[in-house]
Chain A
Amino acid sequence: MDNNSKHVREPLVHLTRRLNVSARFAWLIRIGAFVLSILVCCLVSCLLSGKVSFGFFFKHLFEGAFGSGMLVRALLRDLSILLLLALAVTPCFEMRYWNIGGEGQAMMGAFGCALIVSYTSGKMPVWGTIVLSFVTALVMAVIWAVIPALFKAKWNTNETLLTLMFNYIAICLGAYLIKKVVPMGTGILNFDSGTLSSLGSGDFWIIVSAAVVMTVVMFVYQKYSKHGYEISVVGEAPNTARYVGINTKRVVVRTLFLCGLISGLVGFLLVSVKDASFLSDSTMQSTVAGRGFTAVLISWLAHFHPLAMVLTSFLVVFITRGATQVGNMARLGNSYAGMMVGIFFFFIIATEFFINFKIHFRPKAEKKPHETAPTEPEQKPVARDPE
């Protein structure tokens, strides 16, 4: 047979998995990628607009993020909200339950809060409204988080699709509420009373301290509690969990309950503390504004470690706010900041690939005349398990 004598050709590029990656090496690559991503952001901006130069870009990037006390507060506030949402989805991911419904769960929290404020504000004491709206926010978000979990536990449905779809249902429910309350309005509900922010100007501290407390609580919960331990066993080795008698279904539902609680808290903070308004429309503009999705990335990039999440969410908020400033100054339009965040994520996600795999190129030597056939396509990277 002629193909028995065929020489096996080595592919142009092949990948091997790195074993025993040292922490130092990993961090060097990450820092390198971050610097590179900022440089590419700068380069792209310079190419897009004549107004932007190297100096201009960095000046406004940092000014936008840290330019004044107010801006720093805004940065920390945004960071806290994002961090809280990332904390909410983290235990699910640790359990390998791919909850990408953080957006919808927070949205239901916001919806519950807005519902109570719209209908009870002025009819009962302010504190009554606040407490009731808080509780409702939590309950609604928990319901939204637990429904897909029950489906998963009972019929083993795919949680990714279900939680994703639930996001859109939540946003549409919110839009319906707004239409019901102000049929001729601008599509946004503004609250003058019945919210925490209407009581005073402590909103910044409420949000930041909530984030600090939740970060610590989540860290301890993951690392030192029995629940946290069960979550990692279920996630890492479902068969082992079965063997040691862990009730996997219960753990799933319980964890999503917790996730709902934190998401609900975020919903409440957004409506009652930060914005004092509620936005939701069928073009998917909403109070949560896509943070639920960003939170998924933040949690992943931090390898589900709550303290590392502080760093990743800081970087994302820094780029977002800095780039918004650059965009405003150079009149580059609304989507500019989104573009920059995209470039940033592109680099950071690629980093994980380079940390885990080593690339080998085919040595150039010994090219035989009959072997000049087109090169084989690049080998696809093996799906990486999240660890």
Chain B
Amino acid sequence: MGNQLAIELVGITKAFGTKVVANKNVNMDLREGEILSILGENGSGKTTLMNMIAGIYTPDSGKIIVRGEEAVIKSPIDAFNLHIGMIHQHFKLVDLFTAADNILLGERMPDDYGKGPKFFRWIKFNHLSRDRVKKLQSTVDQYGFGIDLSRKIYDMSVSEKQTVEIIKVLYRGADILILDEPTAVLTPQEIDKLFAVLRKMRDEGKSIIIITHKLNEVMAISDRVCVLRKGEHIATVETAKTTEKELTDMMVGQKIDLNINRELPDNPKPRLLIRDMSVVNKEGRTVVNKVSFDVCGGEILGIAGISGNGQKELLEGIAGLQPKASGDVIFHNPKRDRPVTFYHHDLKKIKAMAAEGRFHYPNGERVDLTNIKNKEIIRLVEDEQILFYEDEIIDLKDKSPREIQELGIKLSFVPEDRLNMGLVGSMSIVDNMMLRSYRKGNSVFVNRKRPKQLADDIIRDLEVVTPNDMVPVRRLSGGNVQKVLVGREIASSPKVLMAAYPVRGLDINSSYTIYNLLNSQKQRNVAVVYVGEDLDVLLALCDRILVLCGGQVSGIVDARKVTKEEVGLLMTKVPDKIQNYTYEEMQEKGEDNG
């Protein structure tokens, strides 16, 4: 056992459209009776490659050789006939059925089954006979899954559902198993259990491919590791003969100089203080775990991490969009020496604040409103004569998402589905411009004059390719949609701008337009949070990088000093000692350099 090849891939290439090459000339092999890890960053083509083996995609060119014979796998049924089974990240189970029924579902009756007319045999096979369930239970016991197959799927935990999926594939006779990020949904204990099962299956002679991007798991489970980067096969190495460091180097590759303009932050002051933020998602899993950090005005803080490690939830938590977020978010509103307005405060509140001594007159004198008439106060406020003494400190914990927005904390979240997070696809560019601002004023009618002006400005300044400003945004290409979205957020003169994956799917030129926009915001003393996936960009654009791993901060590092490998390592593993590079250090360095 161990040397015959179960699968061999020769020169596999797969492209989507003309631009995106998901896999380029990949050569890879899987031996019988081994566990092979496929390691790579997001978008490195892991899942696409596996989907080609499982018959979901067909390769554009190249050969798939299964057990020494060339195979054409055009559909999952072909893969099934070759005894290849894939367990996807999203389970394909019928909730209302028992585990046994899910596993047996769709099985054909053998011709020699039972006696009598076909119809009665069919009834017996499908509805009466329990011997199939017994056979199933024996399979289950053989591997020590420890699961009761008579339970309904809706009663099961995620880990149990996954087990059912695995049993399903095994029962159908697969001896080559592909697991797509099986550990992403599991707790550490469940992962240990899964690994035990996988090892047992390997010892039975099954060949297993496991897709993952967690290094410690790779080291723990696999016999060999195959590293992909940007669609290309980098190397396949024996796990025992490699180190985590070496794997990270292969995964992230050489540093590329991007020539993004980056200036030292000018006197960064903390703008947003996040303390012990935790977020529990709908399924009850803790996706953000006691995260604490500061964001300063005038810096770009990058957030690195493999996608799904809590980036989205963290930003949503700050923006007040996560109902189950705990912890404190303190916002330092840069109000010092700025006039107070009636936009956020009413007369009563202003009086109370004055009594606390929070205002001063332009000449520096403290404001005392106790003996001044209301009318006079209104005049003073409207003439911008009452100025803040210090920055306003606001706890965002009990503010609504709308109030948080109106304070100038903008979240421009850009996942794959741009049109559903921040834009309305069927509306024109002009109408999309109004989304943030349409509430202003007391009129019951919307005013499209200023949004139209803004739309035209954005189209001109950011070179949005569109016939006119009344085109529904869903007709625009991805890059142009992105420009519209980011342009709008920036136009609202934010104080904190959180942009998640703003360049995903954009071409080089559009990406640089976005980087320049973020840089110009930084120069305007805005606190910019940039969630990105391309480490080269993060290292070139940001001032500091916060690395998330499993919802925890695994380090806050100096983007000017850190190497790609260090960030890569932090992304896959939380170190014992967590580095926290702060703005004070940054300032000292700035003085040194200056």
Contact = CB atoms under 8 A, between A and B. Distances in A.
Do the two chains bind? yes
Interface hub of B73, B426, B427, B435 (most chain A Cβ within 10 A): B435
Interface in B399-455: 400-402, 405, 411, 413, 419-427, 431, 434-436, 438-439, 443-446
Interface in A237-256: 237, 239-240, 242-245
B446 A226 contact: yes
A239 B78 contact: no
A73 interface: no
Given A4-B71, A225-B444, A225-B446, A240 B420 contact: yes
Contacts of B81: 1, 3
B82 A1 contact: yes
Query: Main secondary structure on chain A at its contact with chain B?
Result: helix
Interface in A100-157: none
B72 interface: yes
A4 B422 CA distance: 45
A37 interface: no
Contacts of B431: 229
Contact of A236 (B73, B400, B401, B424): B424
B82 A227 contact: no
B109 interface: no
Contacts of B321: 242-243
Contacts of A240: 420-424, 435
Contacts of A366: none
Interface residues of A, number: 22
A234 to B, nearest CB: 10
Given A1-B82, A3-B77, A229 B438 contact: yes
Nearest to B417: A239
A285 to B, nearest CB: 40
A376 interface: no
B445 A226 contact: yes
A324 interface: no
A345 B284 CA distance: 49
B88 interface: no
A226 to B, nearest CB: 5
Nearest to A2: B81
Interface residues of B, number: 34
A227 B422 CA distance: 18
Contact of A237 (B73, B405, B419): B419
Contacts, number: 71
A20 to B, nearest CB: 8
A1 B74 contact: no
B425 A229 contact: no
Interface in B325-358: none
B494 to A, nearest CB: 14
A240 B81 CA distance: 44
Contact of B444 (A8, A227, A239, A243): A227
Nearest to B418: A240
Interface string B76-115: 0110011000000000000000000000000000000000
A4 B426 contact: no
A243 B446 contact: no
A170 interface: no
Interface in A307-345: none
A202 to B, nearest CB: 31
A224 interface: yes
B424 A1 contact: no
A185 B199 CA distance: 83
Nearest to A239: B420
Contacts of B419: 237
Given A232-B427, A243-B411, A226 B438 contact: yes
Nearest to B412: A243
Contacts of A5: 72
A387 B421 contact: no
A232 B434 CA distance: 13
Given A237-B419, A237-B424, A245-B402, 14 more contacts: A3-B81, A4-B71, A4-B74, A4-B78, A225-B444, A227-B444, A232-B427, A233-B435, A237-B420, A240-B421, A240-B423, A242-B401, A243-B422, A244-B405
6 contacts: A4-B73, A8-B74, A226-B445, A237-B423, A240-B435, A243-B321
Interface of A: 1, 3-5, 8, 220, 224-227, 229, 232-233, 236-237, 239-240, 242-245, 387
Question: Top 7 A-B pairs ranked by shortest CB distance?
Answer: A245-B402, A245-B401, A4-B72, A237-B424, A239-B420, A236-B424, A244-B435
